[in-house]
Amino acid sequence: MYTNEAELRRIIREELERLLGGSLTTNEKAVGSEEIAEYLGVSVFTARVKAQTGVIPAFKVGNQWRYYLSEVRAHLEAPPADPWTQSNRSRTRRRLS
């Protein structure tokens, strides 16, 4: 089927890139809360709260929040969600009979 492991890895990587719509490798450096707060024009505390609540995409390294500027920018430029759609939390709640 496949001649070697390297060819199989290449094919899997190409398929994942096609499905995810981009490159799997990025040279972008993650920025800290201070840099993202300056970019957004908010306080560092507000940036951390927005990361904790999932308003902006972020991840933790140890006890520090890190952000990819391109992901934050793409998230903020995305069209807003329809406010009338039912949330996942509401969908999974048990109804009183």
The rounded distance, in Å, linking the Cα atoms of 32 and 54 is 16
Do 47 and 37 contact (CB within 8 A), yes or no?
yes
Residue 43 confidence (pLDDT) above 80: yes
| pLDDT > 70 in the chain, percent | 86
Q: Which residues, in sequence order, are CB contacts of 91 under 8 Å at separation 6+?
A: none
- The total number of structural domains in the chain stands at 1
User: What is the residue range of 40's domain?
Assistant: 27-78
Q: Is residue 22 part of a domain?
A: no
Residue-wise pLDDT for 50-96, tens only, equals: 999 888 999 998 999 999 898 899 888 887 777 777 777 777 777 66
Positive or negative, the Cα torsion across 82, 84, 87, 91? negative
- Domain membership of residue 92 (yes or no) is no
Note whether residue 18 is domain-resident.
no
91 located within any domain: no
CATH label of the domain that carries residue 70? 1.10.10
